[in-house]
Amino acid sequence: MIPLKDNIRSRKLPVMTVGLIILNIWIFFQQTQLPPDQLQLLIAEFGFIPKRIVLAYNQGELSLLPLATPVTSAFFHGNLIHLAGNMLYLWVFGDNVEDKLGSFRFLLFYLVAAIFGSLGHLLSDPLSVQPAIGASGAVAGVLGAYFIFFPYAKVFTLVPIGIFITFIHLPAVIFLGIWILIQGANAALPAPGEAVSVAWWAHISGFIMGVIYSLFKK
């Protein structure tokens, strides 16, 4: 399912949502300008690597903990599809959540959701040495907030059915309910080759954080 738009208009320009999208696109463009070896070093430096956290903690070298990477990792993407998917979801759902929270609080919420996403990935795969990157955990937090704040909003959705496509309006509670169920199913039963490439628990953790926070703010 691909969300295209919802039926709730923002009361004001979602400057933070637009700003985050522009920043992510700009960073991805900069990534494409780097030679592969330099890009690999950059991702290793700013990506979130669970084993690096675990080793620093176990050795008592707390000063070596890469405390910024749960946030910095959220601004890098592996490929254009990865970027486009995250930014589409942020565009469709972020404006209304920003409207609800206010721009500055929305930014803080987004960054905290990114941190919770990284923590979920750390707990699910603490020995991973592969840098985790992408805004998925942060965007999932936005989805969790939308799930609570706007459950009955209508989401205009593209649904592929085999070689055909159809367009339907789904209540947000149904669309996002299906979305989180898919994340859970993939986390429990990952497809071959996906276990090391998709941090499903980052998505789930970000979503849960968004739900819990929004329940207290509603």
Query: Counting beta carbons within 10 angstroms of the beta carbon of residue 124, is it exposed (0 to 12), middle (13 to 18) or buried (19 or more)?
Result: middle
Express each pLDDT in 6-28 by its tens digit.
999 988 899 999 999 999 999 99
pTM for this one? 0.91
What is the per-residue pLDDT for 195? 47
Q: What are 31-42's pLDDT values in tens digits? A: 999 999 999 999
Q: Which member of 73, 121, 128, 203 is catalytic?
A: 203
Is there a catalytic annotation at residue 136? yes
* pLDDT on residue 64: 60
By three-state DSSP, how is residue 125 classified?
A: coil
**Amino acid residing at 27:** I
- Within 13 A of 119's CA, how many CA atoms are on the CB side? 12
Q: Does 121 participate in catalysis according to the annotation?
A: no
List the one residue out of 145, 201, 198, 199 whose CA is nearest residue 176: 145
Residue 136 is encoded by which pair of tokens? 């998925």
Where along the chain do its domains lie?
A: 2-217
Q: Which of 73, 136, 205, 214 is catalytic?
A: 136
- Predicted local distance difference test score (pLDDT) of residue 196: 53
What's the CATH fold of domain 2-217?
Rhomboid-like fold (1.20.1540)
- In angstroms, the CA 6 to CA 92 distance is 7
- Does residue 71 have a pLDDT over 80? yes
Strands ordered across the beta sheet of 2-6: 2-6, 154-161, 164-171
Query: What pLDDT sits at residue 53?
Result: 87
- pLDDT tens digit string along 89-143? 999 999 999 999 999 999 999 999 999 999 999 998 998 999 999 999 999 999 9
Maximum separation of any 2 CA atoms in the chain, in Å:
56
Express each pLDDT in 180-214 by its tens digit: 999 999 888 866 655 456 888 999 999 999 999 99
Q: For residue range 136-178, what is the model confidence (pLDDT) as tens digits?
A: 999 999 999 999 999 999 999 999 888 889 999 999 999 999 9
Q: CA-CA distance, 78 to 28, in Å (whole number)?
A: 9
